[in-house]
Amino acid sequence: MGEHETPADEPPTDEARAEAPVQHGCPVTDSRGQTVLHPTREQYVDVVKALADEGYGMCVDLVGVDYLLHPNRPVADGVTPERFEVVVNLLDIYNRRRIRLRVQVPEHDAVLPTLFDVHPGTEAMEREVFDMFGLSFDAHPDLTRILMPEDWDGHPLRKDYEVGAIPVQFKGAPS
């Protein structure tokens, strides 16, 4: 176990909490050797900008996660787990470094600011999170569906989305 880790069944001591690492004002954890920052929604864009200034110039991935069935998952000390989470993976090509951000997004106010001004390549990724999970991104240039038809009801990757069946007709198959 690392210096600040405790067994899963034991809560961290006051000493471990006092020494918990922080970067850009965010709690920091480690996930299999990768640094993970846990910014609030208010810190999100400023932290990404600061990381871009430090060399993390590429947003490799931006995804949504619905933790409806896992509300008590582990998060950093001081972070309140919410139903939704947006996970962002940034890459510093020149120094061969990766960093991950995990932002908690409450179900009753499922909105984050867009990263489009910092990383224009996130435009499609944010649209996919919007389409599949129903999370919105303030100031996004074109927050419309990207995978589902415009008239589709619901968000298919939400854990409470009812699973249905859509008949598929294959070319040359008997009707």
Non-local (6+) Cβ contacts of 65 within 8 A are 84, 85, 86, 87
Q: How many helices (H) and strands (E) does the chain have?
A: 3, 8
- pLDDT tens-digit series, residues 125-163: 999 999 999 999 999 999 999 999 999 999 999 999 987
Residue range of the domain that includes 62: 19-111
- pLDDT tens-digit series, residues 14-67: 555 557 799 999 999 999 999 999 999 999 999 999 999 999 999 999 999 999
118 lies in some domain: no
165 lies in some domain: no
Non-local (6+) Cβ contacts of 77 within 8 A are 12, 17, 20, 27
Determine the pLDDT at residue 2. 45
Q: How many domains does the chain have?
A: 1
Tokens at 27, concatenated: 């709690």
Residue 116 has pLDDT above 70, yes or no: yes
CATH number, domain with residue 25: 3.30.460.80
pTM of the model: 0.83
